[in-house]
A = this chain, B = another copy of it.
Amino acid sequence: MVYLYIQNRNNSLMAASYQKYTELIQSIADINYAAALLGWDQETYMPVKGADHRARQLSTLAGLAHEKSTAEELGHILEELIIDPSLNEVQKNNIKHSLHNYRKSKKYNHKFVTTLSRTISEAVSIWQKAKSEANFKAFAPYLERLVELKKQECELLGYKDHPYDALLDEFEPGLLTKDVETLFQDVRTNLVPFVYEIMQRPLADDRILKQYFPKSDQFQLSEHLLRAVGYDFESGRQDISLHPFTVHFGAADVRVTTRIDENDLADMLTGTIHEGGHGLYEQGLPLHAYGLPEGEAVSLGIHESQSRLWENNVGRSRLFWKGMFPVLQNYFPDQFKHSTPDDVFRALNNIRPSLIRVNADELTYHFHIMVRFETEKALLEGSLQVKEIPEFWNSRIKNYLGLNVRDDASGCLQDVHWSHGSFGYFPTYSIGSFYAAQFYTAAVKQVDGLEEQIEAGKFSSLREWLKASIHVHGRLYTARELCERITGEPLNFRHFMDYTRKKYGALYAIE
C-alpha cells in the first residue's frame, strides 16, 4: 500500500483507499464500455470488411479489462476495505460485490480463459454455417468441447448442489438448479394444461398486423413508443440491427435497437417496447455510480423482468392499446381505418405453438425455455451426450408444444447462446417474465389509479414506481431481497399464473 502521503489517521487512509478502489473499478468500466461501443457499432454501422479488425480490437480490450480486474493492487485494496468498519452501507455493498467478482476472476487461469475464448470464436462461425445447413453433426464436436470446458468451469468456480448452479450464478446470482426445477414444475402443473385449453379455441384474426407497413414510418412509430414510455433520447438512441438489443456505456448513454419487418408490425411493436423496458432500467440506475456495483443491474432475471413487464404486462394489454390506438392510427391511417383497439390487443395475443423461441407467444415461450434448461442440465451433469441432443430436444418439443421438429435449424441449432458458451442464460428469460407479473401486480396495488393512467396512454407513474422500487438501488439488494421488499414475498409463480388466467381466460373464454 502506497498511500503514505495521506496523513496516517485511519479514516483518511481508508477514505483514500475507497477512492482508489473507485478509480480502479471505474477505469475497468471504461474499458468494458469502450468494448461495448465497439460491439454496438459492429451490430449497427460497421462496414462488412471491418470485422477482422474489430475482432482483434475487442480481444485486446477484453484482455486489458481482465488484466485490470485481476490485478494484485485491486485485490489488496478490496481485502482491506471489506473489513473496514467506517464504510457506509452502499460502500460496503460495492466492496462486497467487487471482491466477489475479483475472487471469481482469480479462479480462472490464463490457459482456461484463452482456450475458452478461442473455442467460442471457432464455435460461433461453425454454428452459423451448421445452422444455415441444418447440420447438427458439423457443430457437435465444437459443442462437445464447449460442454467439456463448461464442466471444467463449474469445478473451477465451485457450486452448492449441482454443477449447473455455478453457471446459473453467472447470470442470476444466488439462483440454484433446484429453484428452476421448482418453477418449471409449476409451469408443467399449471401453465401447460391451461395452454392446452387455449389451443382448443380458435385463433384470433391477426391479419390486421400483417399488412404493409413502410420501414421509415415504423421507425418513427417505434421512437414515438419509446418516448411514450419515458425513454430519454438525450441519454440514448435507437438504431436498426438484425436482432434487437440494449447496450449501455453508463446510465447517460443507453442505446436500444429494433428490427423492422415491413409485413408484420408486431415484430417492431413488441421488440421496441421490450428493449425500451431494458433501456429504462439502465437509464434509471444511479448516474453517479458509474461502473460501480451500485450503478449496475441486479441480475439478468431482474433486467428481463423490466423488458417483459413493459412488453407483456403493459404492451400486450387491452388497456395499453386503448390509450395508444390513436397513435397507431396516426402513423398508419389506412391500415387501421376499420379497426378497434381490441383488434390490436387480440392480434398481439394469439397463442400458437411455434418451433422458434424468438417467435413464440408469451405463454408457450416458457415451454421453449424448459426444453433448453432440461438439455443444459442433463449435459452438465453428464446424463446426456452432445450427439443425443437432437433426439432429446425433438421429443420434448413434441411433448410440450405438440410439434414435430422439421430439422435442427428450427430445432436445437436455432439459438446462438451455446456457441457463445452461454449455458445457464436461458432460465433468466422465464424468471424475468415471472418477476414481471409479480412486480406488475404489486405496482397496481401500490400506485393509485395506475391502470387508469395506462389506459389514458400515461406511463410516468409506472415508470417512476419501477425506478424508485428497482432501478435506483443498483445492486444494493439481491434479486430475492428486492422482490421481498417490493412484493412482500420471494418470486412466486402464482402471480404469473393469475395474470395468465385473467387475461387469456377472458380472451379465450376459459372459465
Contacts and interface: CB of A to CB of B under 8 A. Distances in A.
Given A34-B35, A53-B33, A290-B53, A47 B236 contact: yes
B34 A57 contact: yes
A349 to B, nearest CB: 34
Contact of A235 (B38, B41, B47, B255): B47
Interface string A251-285: 01101000000000000000000000000000000
Nearest to A252: B49
A250 interface: yes
B38 A253 contact: no
Interface string A27-38: 100110111011
A53 B233 contact: no
A1 interface: no
Given A26-B56, A53-B250, A56-B26, A61 B34 contact: yes
Contacts of A290: 53, 56
A444 interface: no
A48 interface: yes
Contact of A47 (B41, B45, B253): B253
A408 to B, nearest CB: 32
The listed residue with most B CB atoms (<10 A of its CB), out of A57, A239, A255, is A57
B30 A249 contact: no
A181 to B, nearest CB: 41
B233 A47 contact: yes
Interface of A, secondary structure class, is: helix
Nearest to A31: B60
A16 interface: no
A57 B54 CA distance: 18
Nearest to A51: B252
A34 to B, nearest CB: 5
Interface string A44-74: 0111111011101101110110000000000
A47 B237 contact: yes
A234 interface: yes
B37 A249 contact: no
Nearest to A53: B250
A27 B234 contact: no
Interface string A221-253: 000000000001111110100000000011011
A96 to B, nearest CB: 25
Nearest to A237: B47
B237 A49 contact: no
Nearest to A232: B49
Contacts of A54: 249, 253
A59 B29 CA distance: 12
A43 to B, nearest CB: 13
Question: How many identical chains are in the complex?
Answer: 2
B34 A34 contact: yes
Contacts of A27: 60, 63
A253 B46 contact: yes
Contacts of A45: 45, 237, 239
A24 to B, nearest CB: 11
A232 B48 CA distance: 11
Contacts of A52: 252
Nearest to A235: B49
Contact of A61 (B30, B49, B235): B30
User: For A31, A59, A290, which residue has the most chain B Cβ atoms within 10 angstroms?
Assistant: A31
Contacts of A33: 53, 57
Contacts of A255: 47
A250 B60 CA distance: 15
A57 B30 CA distance: 5
Contacts of A57: 30, 33-34, 37, 249
A20 to B, nearest CB: 15
A457 to B, nearest CB: 25
A239 B46 CA distance: 12
A53 B237 contact: no
Given A34-B57, A45-B45, 13 more contacts: A27-B60, A30-B60, A31-B61, A31-B64, A33-B53, A34-B35, A34-B61, A37-B38, A45-B239, A49-B234, A50-B249, A56-B290, A64-B64
- The 5 A-B pairs with the shortest beta carbon distances in the complex, nearest first, are A50-B253, A30-B60, A53-B250, A49-B252, A30-B57
26 contacts: A30-B56, A30-B57, A30-B61, A31-B60, A34-B38, A34-B60, A34-B61, A41-B41, A45-B239, A47-B233, A47-B235, A47-B253, A48-B234, A49-B232, A49-B234, A49-B252, A49-B253, A50-B235, A50-B252, A50-B253, A53-B250, A53-B252, A53-B253, A53-B290, A54-B249, A56-B290
